[in-house]
């Protein structure tokens, strides 16, 4: 039976001693996850394909540099360039973490690509529609999108499984997969490949949660709506951060009830919740400002 003091936020969500890995942790949603985890006591290894971005993130956003409580904050550690599409790179990464730490408490699979964007032909003739869409993108672009957004998530999770199983039992080891609300709606949003890949990522999450439960590892997914990121806005500032003006959201072709993009802190709340609540497994959590209420699934 829990005492009232057990419900204090620092008790519920403290991550002291946790060792985490965030792929794509240098920018965007990966960076939001990194900040949330490290601010609450976790040691967070970040990886991606651009070493200079990872190093800047660690230097700029380390909780110690943000004057966090010295007895609470964790650490942000760039662990070098990793291509999550490469099994060799992932194997090397896990061996390095194993040699340094011996376990992982949490993996956030945030690395991904937006994929090709198609036109929206305003035509009624199927031949003309096919012609425009056929020429708009290649099979190679589709394959690259699926390799980056789906296959790499599977290999990343599989590579980390032994480290996750080795975590202290009270760490409630788990994986958080970043999918997208785009994979849960019928609208193609002019990027069939990305939406199809994110739908596959969400279903992959459910399959892995079932198959990997025997190892004591939970698998959940966050399906973000509109959040400021380098992928959505095509740029980052000198802190590896991005701004998404409200006007950018309001001009979408479907309603966005929140009338704004999500905040970094709101994404951080979702990450912390899934990392700590051990009674949640195989869940796809939309954090979308109410979009899916409007467009249907």
Instruction: Copy the structure tokens of residue 181.
Output: 């609300």
Catalytic residue among 43, 173, 174, 194: 194
Note if 154 is an active site residue: no
**How many other CB atoms sit within 10 Å of the CB of residue 200?**
18
For residue 94, give the nearest of 288, 2, 102 by alpha carbon. Answer: 102
Q: How far apart are CA 258 and CA 230, in angstroms?
A: 21
Residue 69 DSSP one-character state = -
Catalytic residue among 105, 148, 179, 236: 179
Note if 179 is an active site residue: yes
125 burial type by CB count under 10 A (0-12 exposed, 13-18 middle, 19+ buried):
exposed
Q: How far apart are CA 128 and CA 95, in angstroms?
A: 52
Q: How far apart are CA 77 and CA 65, in angstroms?
A: 13
Note if 194 is an active site residue: yes
Catalytic residue among 43, 152, 182, 198: 198
Q: How far apart are CA 294 and CA 297, in angstroms?
A: 9
Instruction: Copy the structure tokens of residue 93.
Output: 């990464």
Alpha-carbon distances, residue 176 vs 101, 116, 280, 295 (angstroms): 20, 25, 11, 25
Instruction: Copy the structure tokens of residue 194.
Output: 């990305």
Residues with active-site annotation: 179, 194, 198
């Amino acid at each position: 039976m829990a005492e009232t003091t057990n419900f204090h936020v620092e008790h519920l969500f403290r991550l002291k001693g946790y060792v985490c890995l965030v792929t794509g942790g240098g920018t965007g949603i990966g960076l939001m996850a990194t900040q949330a985890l490290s601010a609450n006591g976790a040691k967070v290894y970040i990886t991606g394909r651009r070493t200079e971005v990872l190093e800047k993130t660690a230097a700029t956003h380390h909780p110690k540099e943000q004057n966090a409580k010295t007895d609470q904050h964790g650490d942000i550690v760039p662990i070098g360039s990793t291509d999550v599409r490469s099994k060799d790179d992932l194997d090397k990464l896990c061996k390095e973490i194993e040699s340094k730490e011996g376990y992982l408490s949490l993996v956030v699979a945030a690395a991904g690509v937006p994929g090709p964007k198609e036109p929206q032909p305003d035509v009624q003739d199927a031949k003309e529609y096919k012609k425009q869409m056929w020429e708009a993108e290649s099979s190679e672009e589709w394959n690259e999108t699926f390799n980056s957004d789906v296959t790499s998530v599977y290999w990343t999770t599989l590579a980390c499984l032994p480290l996750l199983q080795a975590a202290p039992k009270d760490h409630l080891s788990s994986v958080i997969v970043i999918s997208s609300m785009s994979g849960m709606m019928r609208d193609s949003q002019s990027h069939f490949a990305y939406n199809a890949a994110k739908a596959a990522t969400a279903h992959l999450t459910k399959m892995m949660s079932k198959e990997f439960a025997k190892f004591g590892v939970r698998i959940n997914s966050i399906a973000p709506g509109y959040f400021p990121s380098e992928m959505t806005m095509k740029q980052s500032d000198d802190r590896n951060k991005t701004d998404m003006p409200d006007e950018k959201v309001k001009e979408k072709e479907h309603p966005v009830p929140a009338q704004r993009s999500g905040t970094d802190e709101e994404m951080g709340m979702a990450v912390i919740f899934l990392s700590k609540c051990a009674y949640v497994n195989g869940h796809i959590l939309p954090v979308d400002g109410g979009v899916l209420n409007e467009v249907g699934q």
